[in-house]
């Protein structure tokens, strides 16, 4: 079985791994994200001489994942110092003569859960991460969704919870979904980190209200066969039943589908790849690169 | 070139046509939608002996377009008398031994505009109709989006316009997008039909506000390369520039793409197939049926 290289390029840390086409990770390493020169040198040094036959990179963004575009392969307008316009695919190509697949971290995670995880029996799925930010990736008819660029589902508009007076953290939209429901909004609204709030704190009902609204829109627009919710905030597993019931209330019986009714607890689920979701996502991108080469 | 049969199955009338793979319509007929027995007998009688090699049907819904599902090919839970659970594909198969493709009317229209119309140079597109209801179909990576069922994008939640006190027409959600922005909400809110309102009436700014919110969500979730807006309400062409500017305001410069900035007037456009969008959509479904047979 071929050896594959996986890069989970996060804004705080990079995780690199060597894995196989069945999703097994044989070896992994992690280091902080500093400058492209320093960080990418560590990436190259990890993979050199290991004989990987393809590399997949799931990256923080925004990025340009559209093949054929003049800026394909770059991290584009990130506010992260030093990384704006960095040509990651160009850099990797200059060191490794193997097929490379480059996408957002969440598209990678969606493909990983679709290939080996919670959505492996579906034709379509949505992976959402709720953490420092909110992002999502989608697989439709077995393919990742790109189009004009990559989805930016975290920034959709939501209705305000009637008891929420917090103005929102998003520098572009104020109180878009990410502005009112990502980790930083939780801690600013309640004055303590989300993880320190008790499991019956009203924060979770409000959080579930916003996430259920987002899911309603995602379901009505994409109709995914499975929804996987990961990221730091979703480690608060009490959110799942709250989201299930709020979503059913919002849908008002409109969709007469088992998935949104009796079987909702099997429809909206935590990642099966757990903390490996990001790295396995990059591995799934590498597998794709090899298959399409 | 093969002859193809097209059925635009609307809740008020059926339009049937004979066309070719290049999108040309050679012959068409239209009759009111009454009972399945009566209406479908007219469909059969129109196509009989014409030698069509495939049939495409774009139907009012909700329908089950998911191949392999036990209720595939049916109109499912429509409130329209006599049509609930009608097996359209089964009926057509019992009369014509040719490949059949069955989908929603808006998925058909999306595929038609993608194949021959406003989106013919794109890899992905979204077609939205704003009329008696609001519906949309999407093509992603060249394929129609289905998943769990078919999208129901008209029912997403929107924020209320600050000057709008109308409660909304949707029996399920009250003031979802369709509830506040479809044709019937226009006439109930303002007391006259939309077509009778002057072009500078504040109704259009409010309408554009709601539609721009929907487009923002569709773009952030699907990232389509082209957006085509049709249906009765969109014949008010003054809506297009209002939607363009409201959408840019809502996005707040977040997407640094030509399509949502300088070139927005070429990005969000009327249908190029005009009043033939529905029938050409069904023709595109027939072409797909033939290609996949």
Residue that has been written with the tokens 């479908």 in this structure: B40
HEC-encoded secondary structure of A182-227: CHHHHHHHHCCCHHHCCCCCHHHHHHHHHHHHHHHHHHHHHCCCCE
Spatial CB neighbours of A178, under 8 Å, sequence gap ≥ 6: A133, A134, A154, A155, A169, A170, A185
User: Is A10 contained in some domain?
Assistant: yes
Spatial CB neighbours of B57, under 8 Å, sequence gap ≥ 6: B6, B7, B9, B88, B89, B92, B100, B101, B102, B103, B108, B282, B285
Answer yes or no: do B127 and B99 share one domain: no
B253 touches chain A (CB under 8 A): yes
Q: Which residue of A has its CA nearest to B172?
A: A252
Does residue B147 register a pLDDT over 90?
Answer: no
Give the full edge-to-edge strand order of the sheet including B13-20. B25-32, B13-20, B3-9, B55-59, B100-104
Give yes or no for a contact between A159 and B159, defined as CB atoms under 8 angstroms apart.
Answer: yes
CA B214 to chain CA centroid, Å, is 15
Does residue A40 register a pLDDT over 90?
Answer: yes
pLDDT band at A134, cuts 50/70/90?
very high
Give yes or no for a contact between A282 and A113, defined as CB atoms under 8 angstroms apart.
Answer: no
CB spacing of B143 vs A141 below 8 angstroms: yes
pLDDT given at position A26? 96
Give yes or no for a contact between B94 and B197, defined as CB atoms under 8 angstroms apart.
Answer: no
Answer yes or no: do B144 and B209 share one domain: yes
Closest Cβ–Cβ partner in A136, A172, A250 for B253: A172
Answer yes or no: do B25 and B123 share one domain: no
Predicted-complex ipTM score = 0.94
pLDDT band at A119, cuts 50/70/90?
very high
pLDDT band at B78, cuts 50/70/90?
confident
> What distance in Å separates the CA atoms of residue A180 and residue A159, rounded to the nearest whole number?
10
B41 phi-psi bin (left φ>0, alpha ψ -120 to 50, beta other): alpha
pLDDT given at position B113? 97
User: Is B251 contained in some domain?
Assistant: yes
Spatial CB neighbours of B127, under 8 Å, sequence gap ≥ 6: B106, B109, B110, B113, B119, B136, B137, B138, B228, B229, B230, B271, B277
pLDDT band at B246, cuts 50/70/90?
very high
Answer yes or no: do A179 and A36 share one domain: no
Quote the minimal CA–CA distance from B137 to chain A in Å: 9
Answer yes or no: do A64 and A196 share one domain: no
Q: Span B185-210, mean pLDDT?
A: 96
E strands of B208-283, at which residues? 227-230, 268-269
Residue range of the domain that includes B160? 118-270
User: Is B292 contained in some domain?
Assistant: no
Q: In chain B, what percentage of residues exceed pLDDT 70?
A: 100
> What distance in Å separates the CA atoms of residue A106 and residue A167, rounded to the nearest whole number?
26
Residue that has been written with the tokens 């980190």 in this structure: A193
E strands of chain B, at which residues? 3-9, 13-20, 25-32, 55-59, 100-104, 125-130, 134-140, 143-144, 227-230, 268-269
pLDDT given at position B77? 84
> What distance in Å separates the CA atoms of residue A178 and residue A185, rounded to the nearest whole number?
8
User: Is A287 contained in some domain?
Assistant: no
Q: Which chain A residues contact residue B151 at CB under 8 A?
A: 220-223
Answer yes or no: do A138 and A253 share one domain: yes
pLDDT band at B1, cuts 50/70/90?
confident
Quote the minimal CA–CA distance from B146 to chain A in Å: 6
Q: Span A222-232, mean pLDDT?
A: 96
Answer yes or no: do A164 and A258 share one domain: yes
Quote the minimal CA–CA distance from A15 to chain B in Å: 27
pLDDT band at B277, cuts 50/70/90?
confident
pLDDT given at position A61? 86
Beta bridge partners of A32: A13
Tell how strand B55-59 and strand B3-9 pair up.
parallel
Q: Which chain B residues contact residue A209 at CB under 8 A?
A: none
> What distance in Å separates the CA atoms of residue A293 and residue B35, rounded to the nearest whole number?
53
Answer yes or no: do B169 and B234 share one domain: yes
Could you read off the pLDDT of B206-228 as tens digits, one per residue? 999 999 999 999 999 999 999 99
Does residue B271 register a pLDDT over 90?
Answer: yes
Does residue B282 register a pLDDT over 90?
Answer: yes
> Which two tokens mark B62?
């909700």
**Which residues 78-117 on chain A approach chain B with CB closer than 8 angstroms?**
none
Residue that has been written with the tokens 């959080």 in this structure: A207
Q: Span B175-185, mean pLDDT?
A: 97
Helices (H) and strands (E) in chain A, counts: 9, 10
Does residue B35 register a pLDDT over 90?
Answer: yes
CB spacing of B217 vs A221 below 8 angstroms: yes
User: Is A282 contained in some domain?
Assistant: no
The H-or-E segment that residue A135 falls in is strand A134-140
User: Is B284 contained in some domain?
Assistant: no
Spatial CB neighbours of B68, under 8 Å, sequence gap ≥ 6: none
Quote the minimal CA–CA distance from A18 to chain B in Å: 30
User: Is A90 contained in some domain?
Assistant: yes
> What distance in Å separates the CA atoms of residue B36 and residue B209, rounded to the nearest whole number?
39
Answer yes or no: do B130 and B258 share one domain: yes
CB spacing of B155 vs A254 below 8 angstroms: yes
> What distance in Å separates the CA atoms of residue B60 and residue B3, rounded to the nearest whole number?
24
User: Is A284 contained in some domain?
Assistant: no
**Which residues 174-233 on chain A approach chain B with CB closer than 8 angstroms?**
213, 216-225
pLDDT band at B159, cuts 50/70/90?
very high
Alpha helices in B96-238 (DSSP H): 105-116, 177-181, 183-190, 202-222
Domain count, chain B: 2
pLDDT given at position A277? 86
With H, G, I as helix, E, B as strand and everything else as coil, classify residue A51. Answer: coil
pLDDT given at position A149? 87
Could you read off the pLDDT of A141-186 as tens digits, one per residue? 999 999 888 899 999 999 999 999 999 999 999 999 999 999 999 9
pLDDT given at position A276? 86
CA A168 to chain CA centroid, Å, is 21
Quote the minimal CA–CA distance from B161 to chain A in Å: 11
Could you read off the pLDDT of A182-192 as tens digits, one per residue? 999 999 999 99
> What distance in Å separates the CA atoms of residue A260 and residue B149, rounded to the nearest whole number?
11
> Which two tokens mark B27?
């012959």
pLDDT given at position A244? 98
Give yes or no for a contact between B17 and B283, defined as CB atoms under 8 angstroms apart.
Answer: yes
Question: Looking at residue A251, which CATH number applies to its domain?
Answer: 3.30.420.40
**Average pLDDT score over chain A:** 96
CB spacing of A221 vs B224 below 8 angstroms: no
> Which two tokens mark A9?
């390029």
**Residue of A106, A110, A128, A157 for testing the chain B interface, max B β-carbons within 10 Å:** A157
Answer yes or no: do B130 and B248 share one domain: yes
Q: How far is CA B213 from CA A152, B150, B157, B160, B205, in A?
A: 15, 21, 9, 10, 12
Q: Which chain B residues contact residue A252 at CB under 8 A?
A: 172-173
Spatial CB neighbours of B154, under 8 Å, sequence gap ≥ 6: A220, B133, B134, B135, B136, B176, B177, B178, B182
Q: Which chain B residues contact residue A255 at CB under 8 A?
A: 149, 152
Beta bridge partners of A174: A170
Answer yes or no: do A85 and A191 share one domain: no
Question: What's the pTM value of the predicted model, to 2 decimals?
Answer: 0.95
Answer yes or no: do A125 and A81 share one domain: no
> What distance in Å separates the CA atoms of residue B3 and residue A288, rounded to the nearest whole number?
39
Beta bridge partners of B228: B127, B269
pLDDT band at B275, cuts 50/70/90?
confident
Last residue of a domain, one of B73, B104, B135: B104
């Amino acid at each position: 079985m071929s050896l594959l290289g996986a890069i989970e390029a996060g804004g705080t840390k990079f995780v690199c791994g060597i894995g196989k086409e069945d999703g097994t990770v044989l070896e992994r390493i992690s280091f902080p994200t500093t400058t492209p020169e320093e960080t990418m040198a560590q990436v190259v040094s990890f993979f050199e001489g290991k004989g990987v036959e393809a590399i997949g990179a799931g990256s923080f963004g925004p990025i340009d994942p559209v093949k054929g575009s003049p800026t394909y392969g770059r991290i584009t307008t990130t506010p992260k110092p030093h990384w704006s316009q960095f040509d990651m695919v160009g850099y990797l190509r200059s060191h490794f003569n193997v097929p490379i697949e480059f996408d957002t971290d969440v598209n990678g995670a969606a493909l990983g859960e679709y290939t080996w995880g919670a959505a492996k029996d579906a034709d379509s799925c949505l992976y959402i991460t709720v953490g420092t930010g909110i992002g999502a990736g989608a697989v439709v008819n077995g393919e990742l969704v790109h189009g004009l660029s990559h989805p930016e589902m975290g920034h959709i508009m939501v209705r305000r919870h009637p008891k929420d007076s917090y103005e929102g953290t998003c520098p572009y939209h104020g109180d878009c979904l990410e502005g009112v429901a990502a980790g930083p909004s939780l801690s600013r609204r309640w004055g303590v980190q989300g993880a320190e709030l008790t499991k019956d704190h009203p924060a979770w009902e409000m959080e579930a209200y916003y996430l259920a609204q987002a899911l309603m829109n995602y379901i009505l627009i994409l109709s995914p066969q499975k929804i996987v919710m990961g990221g730091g905030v979703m480690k608060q597993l009490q959110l799942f039943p709250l989201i299930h019931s709020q979503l059913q209330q919002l849908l008002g019986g409109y969709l007469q589908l088992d998935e949104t009714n009796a079987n909702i607890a099997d429809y909206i689920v935590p990642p099966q790849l757990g903390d490996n979701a990001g790295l396995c996502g990059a591995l799934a991108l590498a597998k794709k690169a090899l298959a399409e080469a």
